[in-house]
Structure formats: structure tokens, C-alpha cells
Structure 1
């Protein structure tokens, strides 16, 4: 039946008139199988034209036609256009086509919804978003959008990414940037086969890129981020202006000079607060002690509230306002902290950074605004102290997964300077656990587990302590304690003061600790830290292998075995060393005690595609070793 329908459909497509002479052919079956295979949607045409009018404004017009092949692709049928005080939406148009490419509907005003795009943590933002979509339940279908925006925020030029998501294919897409006389375009190309063509059109310079027949790109396990795998053109200004603040972006230094203009005169501290700061530090001996004391003073006095309006997205509130109101966003709190340190004679820098677990890399050779956050950097003779000013609980100097191991732009008096934040090695991120277990002849037992989590390994539990009540903490522990069967009798989580460490103590009931078979007990000595999976082997691996985090785990488990039992069978010691990490485990009897010790060290890094098999084999070996059992047998008399 399905074959007959497809044959009929194909005949209709071949013999049908071109319904409207000039109507483009958006019939779904005209898509090549090379593009539709593995795709949920296919972009038929995308035309992006970015026209820079002056250093103060630009317009962008986008026409996009996408065929939605199935239910999983319906997200590509929705148009989302953000706007704010500096960016407005001029118009949005839309047309719906059925599977034959025949017009089936038009986007109406009621199909365009307008929502606030304010962050949960913001007190007020002017960010809004228009969301457009035409309902259609029969697949495949095609939606065509055309819209235009006008921007007065020329710090940012547009970024072109024709493959805008996974399981998306592209038939044809073009990108055109039109620059006025005397204004050069700066751009950075990634995985673009056809480089920019540049032509003169009257007084304007026109830059153009084009791609055709892009099949879906699939990520691989432990592979690069999707954004690294697709064609991408980033553009940026040489000269720009935002609400009267002019600057240049040709160097990191000049970017910092522009930020200095925004910050100028916003670091004044009231005299009463100055006196408090001086009294706070007068008996402290070292600069490090003074920094920590002032940081804690700021944390106790303020809270994080985001207010983003116009130029306020990049310009901090005055330090005096933060001092009186007791709140501010990352820019305002960092500016305030810097001003407090200045009172004590301590030099520091306002620092732009891209914060987040994804650790998006900064393009060092392409200066532009690649940042979403602000912190403070305090230079010291040996190591700088980095201060996260939005958290009342963060430890001075700890950057962690949010701001560690990446580039930051220091805003110095001379301008911007790109520097690295601290890198975390395996022994900076430690989980060290000791467990005492008492096992009985029925296979059940009780135990006490003491674990110290350090560095990045402490962050999750520190978040649990900060944001969850005791009942929620207990639920979280049940969900995240990796024992086949257990009951938590009591627990305690404790954050170590002024250090990125959380201590965890669990009193455990272990009802099925060992399997019983006649006179034998079968026990897996690795109680709480078993590696349980490995990705599939891919003989045709295409992309680099990325291990995302360095860490070091140590588990020591001591079992008191039942009287009258002895070890009948024990696994041999295991030691494995690879480019990705090291593993070792051993179990031995010491009198009536069964002692198990396991260590796993993993190193963050990028490796060649052909090393993927080595990683898979390593993880499989670790998983097998973690599941090995000890057989205890009752002694016969």
C-alpha cells in the first residue's frame, strides 16, 4: 500500500501542472535521498543578507524555506526572532506548502506570539522574542519564512551557520554582507569550502558565501561539539558604535579600550564603606588575606540580580549604587569588587569571559565579543586570584567548570589583554572514599562511607547544599548513590570553609550486599564506584576523540566477613595505562578483613580519531574489572 501511494505521488508530481507558473518547486519528493537520509528536515533555500548602513546600524533580511519530514523535525518549522531596545523586528511573513509544494496557508498575525525573554534570575530585561509558526499535522510539509530586523547594536555582526541543528540537511544557502564605503568587513571562516567572493557594487563592497547539498552532520561519542563540525562564518566590525560609545574591534587591546569607556567613573565608593574596608584589612598581613576578606565582605553585603537594558548589557552600574542597593549583575558586582579592592590598595582587573560548562573556545586571532560574563582577576606574584562575584558561596580563587581552563579578556588601563584562567589537572579534582562494611552470612550488611569531593568533583554536591532542603538532599543522595540495593540510615554533607571541598558521610543498610549460594557468598568488592558502560566501536571514526574532564578517584573498601568464612576465589590485581588515563585495582585478605582498593585517573584532552578504539577498549576493561567478584566459602568442620 505504501509503495503504491508513493508511486502515485511521484506520478502526480511529474504530471501535475506547476500550480502557479512562478511558484517554486517545494515538493517533498524532489529532495534527493542523499539529503533526506537521516534528516528530520531539509532547508530548501536560505538567503541571508546583512547590510551595514553605518557604524551605528544595520539591517538583516532572511528568507528561509524548510521541509519538515516527520514529527521529530517540527521544531525546525518554528521561527524564533529575538529583539530588544537596540534590535527591532521590521516584519515577519510566512507561507505553508503541502507535500506536493502547493500553497496551503499563510502566516497570520495571530500565528506570531510575543514573549518576554527575561532570564529567571533577572529583575528586569528588555529582551523579548517573537515566535512564529503555522500548525500542520500531515508530513511532509514545507514552511517559508521571510523576515527583517534592524539593529543599533553594532558591537555584534551576524553569524552564519546554514546547518543550524542535528538531523538537518541543506539544499542551498547563501550569505551576503553589504558594507558601505570605507568600512571593511572582518570575518572568520570555518569548514567553508567556497571561500568568500568579494565584489564592488557602486560605493558598496559585497561579500558572499554559498553552500549546496549539505547532508546531516551527526556527532560521535566523545566527539567535538556540533558547532565545531559545521560550516560557519563569523563576522565582526572594525569600527562600531553603541548608544554613543564608539570603538574599534580590530585588536583585543582596542576592545578593552572601548570597555574602559563604559566603565569610566563608575568605581566611586562611599566614604563610610571605604572606612569599613580599611578597618577590615588593617591587621591582615598578606595581599591574599586582604583579597579574601574583601571578597567575603562583598558576598555578605550583596546578592546577584540581573538587569539588562540597552547599553546596560555591557556597562556596569555605578559601584555607589551597588553599595546602597545591595544587588547587581555580574558586571556591577565585579566592578564593585574591583572598587573595594582599590580602596585597600590592591590592583585588580575587570575580566570578560565566556562562562558555562560547555567551555566554548575563544578565537584568539579574531577579536570580537565572544563573552557572556564578567569576573575579577587579582594579579599576584605567583598566581592570580580569580573572583566569581555573583555567588555568595563561591571560594576566592576557585574558577571550576564554569570559568576555569579558558581565555578571559582582562580590561587593563592600557586596554584588553587575553589571558588563560587556571587549568585543572586530575589531582585538582579528587574523589577520595573510604568505606567500612560489616557483612553477615545471609548476604546483607551495614556500612559507613566517608567521601571527600574536591575541585570540580565537589561542585554538584555544593549545589545540593546551597539549593536543596534536607528532604530534597536525601532524595538526591538516593538518586545519585550508585549501589545496587541500599538504604540511607543517616547522612551528612558539609562544605569545608574557604576551600572547594565537600565532605559526605553515609550510614548505610545493605540488604543484598552478597549473593548466597549454598555455603558460598558472591560479592562485588567495588561497592560504590563501578564504571558500567562503554560506547560502541566505530571502525569509521571521523572526528577527534575528546575526554572532557580530568579527575582522580580513590576508593578503599574494607569488609569484615562473617566468622567461619574464607576467600575461595579472588580476582588478580589489575593495572591499565593508556593515553586517556590509568586504572588499578586489587583485593586481598588481611585476617578476617577483605580489603579492596581502586584508583582511576582520567586526563582531559583531544586525541586523534584512530585512538577512539583505544578509549573504548580501556573503558570496557575498567567496566569488567569493576564488576569482578570475590567468592567467600564457609569453612567445613
Structure 2
């Protein structure tokens, strides 16, 4: 069989070379098995050339060929090129090749689709994308694209990461940046096998990087985010200009000075609004109460919409416009909130931040635009109050999973200053639950569960309250209530005013609360919070272990057991501790009541790969303890 396959492959190669004259460039059979193993696609070649013409403009040309090995790799055959008022697409070319490397199609202009890239909550955006997709009926095949863009938004330079997804390999990729005289390139290298080569070509400096034979990288369970694991080069300007606003990015201070230019004169509000604010806070005794009152005034008066037009992507609309129209994006609403605080004599700062659950760390020693959002920072004598200005339901001072535990760039009168936002400890993110259950001799029961969620643990339910109608809220509760069998007879979800907290109350029917065997009832006392996810054993772990959230869970379940039953078998108290957290649980009889109490505390942190098996063993013990049963037996007369 192997011999016949070899003959077949040789005949295919002979056929291929008869029309090409030599080995086809994109012959799929020549891919090194070490690269194709575990891959859905292989980048055969990628060339990125970034040419800075001046502080005002640059061009970027990308040529890439990708061999798609299977259906899951098909997304790599799709080209998406974003553009807007400040970034133009000069051209797009493309071709597709079969498994032998024979060209079987060319991208036509009519096949390049143009779509709006405007978000659902946007009022004005000029973001658009050009999309091309080439393929053949059978795998593997290779697509080749070449395109060029021209940018007049020189706040941003290119970030090069050829291995941009899991189950992707790279045969060869190169990155070249050409800088004009007097404009040295600022760059940051991550995991690149060889450092930059720099050479002089006339008056220009050329910086170059190259990688070869990058096998697929797969994140390990509880490992670092993918972007930390791959070779990457980030580049940034020294001097730059965007639509007449010139600045430098060599320090965080100078970045803030540029933002101050954009903000200058845009913080004026009508006199009538100033008087409203002053009257609102006149009789409030503390700075904190005044901040909360002004924040709620802003929330009640405005709504969030996205407005991204040219320099408007970084420059806020005037506070007077927000005051009159009642809407704005994160920049405009933050600038407006700052103006309201100014009217009350309260000092605050416009603050740039990277918002999102992925929490990409800021490169502190590489000043550049690493932010996607704006909030307000209010220093006080006691603490610093952070204000998220795009939400009508957010609480003053609460940063949460979106903007907590990361760096923010304060835009002070003196320029930019990098500071950290609050870090959440386990006791900031609490789930505290008390359950009352009545069990009958048939193994069924009814119950009532009252749970308080605080901090990050309250966010999902706050979102449900904010986004869903009651019938959709109920569906969400069914999906997210962890009881083996149950029916919700009634529920309430309530956001606690002025605090990052949600109260949930469930009235439950429990048709399979206990298993019945003769005169015995078998019950798992941990009704609603059993840990079931345990990662696989891996003694050869390579990646760091990342636990991404601190939290503290307390569950107390009180069972009223049927008359005539007593505990025949009870699990012993469990207490476990590790570098990752602590767990304890115990169950006991108090008269006719079975009382179960469980606590689990987990600590956010990053650990060496050697600690992975400690995490696995800890979670195994927690899972095992959560499944322990109590045996109740009917007393014989």
C-alpha cells in the first residue's frame, strides 16, 4: 500500500512539473509534517512591509500565501481588510492554487465585498471592511493575497504577529519597516528567535525581522493568553501627527500632552447646567456623596452611542453637545462627566484604559497607544473613585472585570501618568447563598434559595437585568442554575442600589432531590455549587499556570428531613489548602435538620508550570468533596 502511494505521489509530481517547469511554489505535499501535524492551515510565506513616509503618513504592503488543510482551516482563506477615513485600501489582489500548486483561480474585483463595520450601538462610524474569500472544492488548497493600505493616522504603527491563531503553522514570515531620515523606529520584541537587523539604505533606515518553521502553538488548560505565547513585534512612532495634531510618543507624559491638545476647550457646559450641579451637591456633607450625586445626574441625563469619525476616534465631542443632545461615546461622556465635576469644584482626570475581560497588560516601558476606552478618575482624600460613564447601571467607584486590575493613563494638566486601577481580592467577589429545603420520603422536595452576588460575581446577573425581558431572564436562570433536576416556580432578581450587588431569590421544586433505595435516602447535600471541571493530568507541563479571578463562595443548605429518618452515614469534615485557594465543608445533624456548609476561596495569580499538578490535585479533592453523600435511613419500629 505504501509503495503504491509513493508511486502515485511521484506521478503527481511529474505531472505538476510538466506544466510548471519545476517544483510548484505552493505544492501542499512539500509541507514539513512537523508543521502540518495538529494544524488546520499553514502560512507558506508572509511578507509585511511597513514604510513610514513622514510623521503624517505611511503605507503597508502585505503578501501572504496560506495552505488550507481542512474545513476548520477555511477561515484562514478569508481576507478582511479594515479601512476608514484615515486608512485607505490601495489595492487587493488574490489567487487560489490546488494541492499541486497549480493556479486555478484569480480574485476578481466583483468578488471583493465591502461592508460597514459599524457596531449596533453606533450613531456615527466610518469604519468599513473589504472582504475576499477564495477556495477550491477539495483540500488542501492554497490562497495567495497581496494588498496595500495607506494611513494618515500615525498614532498607530504596525504590530506583527505572523502566528495569529491556534492550530496554525508558519513556514516563513518576514517583517520590514522603513523609516525616513531623522525618525528612528521604536519597537518591542516578544519571543522573536532573532533580534532585528538594522541597515542604512540611502537616507532611510530599514529594520527587518524573519521567522521560519513555527509549529502550531496550543494553549494549555489554565495557561497564559495566546497572544503571550507567540513571536510578536510591536512598533510605535516617536514623532507623529493626526489631522493637524502633532505629538510624540516617547514618554507617557508626552502622550498625555498630545491628548490634552485634543481635549482643549471641549469641557465647557451651559451656565444653567453648572447651577444645577452646584445646587445638587450644595448640602451634601462629603466629597464621595457629591461625586455619586453628579455621577447619577450624568447617568440619568445621557445614553451611550459610539461615534468614531476620523480624529473623533480619539477626540471627545464638546461637553456642551453632550449636555444638549443627551448622548455620546466613552470619550464624550467621560469629558462631560469631568466638566460636571469641575462645576462642583471637584478635580478629576480623563483616563485612557484598555477595557475588556481579556485584560491585556500594558507594556509599561513601551509608551504607545495601547488603550481602547476612556473613563474618569477622581482622586479624593480617602481613595480614588473610578467612574465608568457609558453605563446607566454602573456604580460609582466600581471598575470590575472590564477596567479593574490594570493600568490606566491619566491625562493630567502636566501630561500622561500611568497608574493602576483597583485589584479585586477574593472577599470583593462573593457569592453567599442560604437554601432552605424540605425533603419527603419519596426523594422529592421543595426549596427556597436566597443568594447575594457581589463584585465580579454580580456582573452576569446585572447584565441579565439590564438586557433581558422577564421571560428571557427565566431562561437564563434555567441555563445557569446548577441543580441536577429542578423547576423554578418563582424568582426575583434585584440590583442593590448604590452597590455592586445583585440579590437572587428562587422558589424551587426538586423532583430528584434524593435517590431512594428501600428504607434509605441517598442525598448529595451540596445542592447548587458542585465543582465538576478538573483539568487533565500533565506531568510535562510547559506553560505558566494562570488563575484569572479571585472569589469567595459560601453555601449553607438546611434540609428538613422526613419524620422517622435519621442519619446513617455522614461524610467527615473536609479542609483543603493550596497555593490556589482554600476549601472547607462539613455536614451535621441538628435535631430533624441536616445542615451543610461549604466555603471555597480562590486567589487570582500566576504560577510556574511546576505548580500545575498542585492545581489539578486541589480541584480533584474539591470535586470529590462536593459529590459526597449523606445516607438517611428510616427508623424501624
Task: State the TM-score, normalizing by the size of structure 1.
Answer: 0.99
For residue 33 of structure 1, what is the aligned residue in structure 2? 33
Query: 1:530-541 maps to which residues of 2 (within 5 A)?
Result: 530-541=530-541
1:183-194 mapped onto 2 (5 Å cutoff): 183-194=183-194
The aligned counterpart of 1:86 is 86
Does 1:463 pair with 2:463?
Answer: yes
Distance, in Å, in 2 between the alignment partners of 1:102 and 1:175 is: 27
Match of 1:156 in 2: 156
- 1 CA distance for matches of 2:229 and 2:3? 36
Q: Which residue of 2 aligns with 1:139?
A: 139
Tell me the residue number matched to 1:611: 611
Q: CA–CA distance in 2 between the matches of 1:2 and 1:139?
A: 21
In 2, distance between residues paired with 1:592 and 1:294? Answer: 53
Q: Is residue 553 of structure 2 the alignment partner of residue 571 of structure 1?
A: no
Pair 502,413 (structure 1): closer, same or farther in 2 beyond 3 Å: same
Contact 1:10/1:29 (8 A) holds in 2: no
Which aligned pairs between 1:59-78 and structure 2 lie closer than 5 A? 59-78=59-78
Question: CA shift at 1:9, angstroms?
Answer: 2.6
- Residue 474, structure 1, aligned to residue 495, structure 2: no
Structure 1: how far apart are the matches of 2:468 and 2:105? 49
Deviation at 1:21, TM superposition (A): 4.6
Q: Distance in 2 between matches of 1:3 and 1:398?
A: 68
Residues 217-250 of structure 1 deviation map (CA, whole Å, 9 limit, x = unaligned): 0110000111000000000000000000000000
Residues in 2 aligned to 1:10 and 1:205: alpha-carbon distance in whole angstroms: 47
CA distance in 2, matches of 1:628, 1:395: 40
1:407-431 deviations in Å (ceiling 9; x for gaps): 0000000000000000000000000
CA distance in 2, matches of 1:194, 1:271: 61
In 1, the alpha carbon distance for the partners of 2:86 and 2:528 equals 53
Q: Which residue of 2 aligns with 1:433?
A: 433
Q: How much does 1:16 deviate?
A: 3.9
Farther off after superposition, 239-248 or 278-287: 278-287
Alpha-carbon offset, residue 20 of structure 1: 3.6
SS state of the match for residue 288, structure 1?
Answer: helix
Q: What TM-score do the two structures reach when normalised by structure 2?
A: 0.99
Matched residue SS, 2:272: helix
Residues 76-85 or 128-137, more deviating:
128-137
Number of the residue aligned with 1:49? 49
- Compare 133-142 and 318-327 and name the one that shifted more: 133-142
Distance 1:182 1:217 in 2: 39
Q: What's the counterpart of residue 289 of structure 1?
A: 289
Q: Which residue of 1 aligns with 2:407?
A: 407
8 Å contact kept, 1:160–1:233: yes
Change (3 A) 1:303 1:16: closer
What residue number does 1:197 align with? Answer: 197
Shift in Å, 1:14: 5.1
- How far has the Cα of 1:3 moved from its partner? 7.8
Query: What's the offset of the Cα at 1:12?
Result: 2.1
Once the two structures are superposed, the pairs formed by residues 363-378 of structure 1 within 5 Å of their partners are 363-378=363-378
- How many angstroms does 1:623 deviate by? 0.5
Structure 1 residue aligned with 2:318 = 318
Alignment of 1:149-548 (within 5 A): 149-548=149-548
Shift in Å, 1:7: 4.3
Q: What is the CA-CA distance between 1:25 and the residue it aligns to?
A: 1.6
Is contact 2:462–2:502 with CA below 8 Å preserved after alignment?
A: yes
Encode CA deviations 1:369-402: one digit per residue, 9 max, x unaligned: 0000000000012310000000011000000000
Equivalent residue, structure 1, for 2:560: 560
Measure the CA separation in 1 of the matches of 2:400 and 2:44. 43
Three-state SS of the structure 2 residue aligned to 1:149 is strand
Aligned mates of 2:146, 2:199 — CA distance in 1: 25
- Note if contact 1:42-1:68 (Cα within 8 Å) is conserved in structure 2: yes
Displacement of 1:19 in angstroms is: 3.1
Task: Look up the SS of the partner of 1:222 in the other structure.
Answer: coil
Deviations 1:50-109 (A, max 9, x none): 000000000001110111111110000111100000000000001111100111110111
Render the CA deviation track for 1:528-577: whole Å, top value 9, x for unaligned.
00001201011211100000100000000000111110000000100000
For residues 221 and 3 of structure 2, the distance between their equivalents in structure 1, rounded to whole angstroms, comes to 36
Q: Deviations over 1:428-481 (max 9, x none)?
A: 000000011111111111111110000000000011111111111111111111
Secondary structure, in 3 states, of the residue corresponding to 1:341? helix
Q: Which residues of structure 2 form unaligned runs of 5+?
A: none
The CA deviation at 1:17 is: 2.1
> Secondary structure of 2:391's partner?
coil
1-side partners of 2:540 and 2:304: how far apart? 48
Q: 1-side partners of 2:11 and 2:73: how far apart?
A: 26
Supply the distance in 1 between the matched residues of 2:6 and 2:133 (Cα, whole angstroms). 28
Q: Partners of 1:21 and 1:291 in 2: how far apart?
A: 76
Contact 1:239–1:247 (Cα < 8 Å) also in 2: yes
SS at match of 1:19: helix
SS of the counterpart of 2:17? coil
RMSD, aligned CA: 1.2
2:126 is matched with: 126
Deviation at 1:527, TM superposition (A): 0.3
Displacement of 1:22 after TM fit?
Answer: 8.1
SS in 2 for 1:624: helix
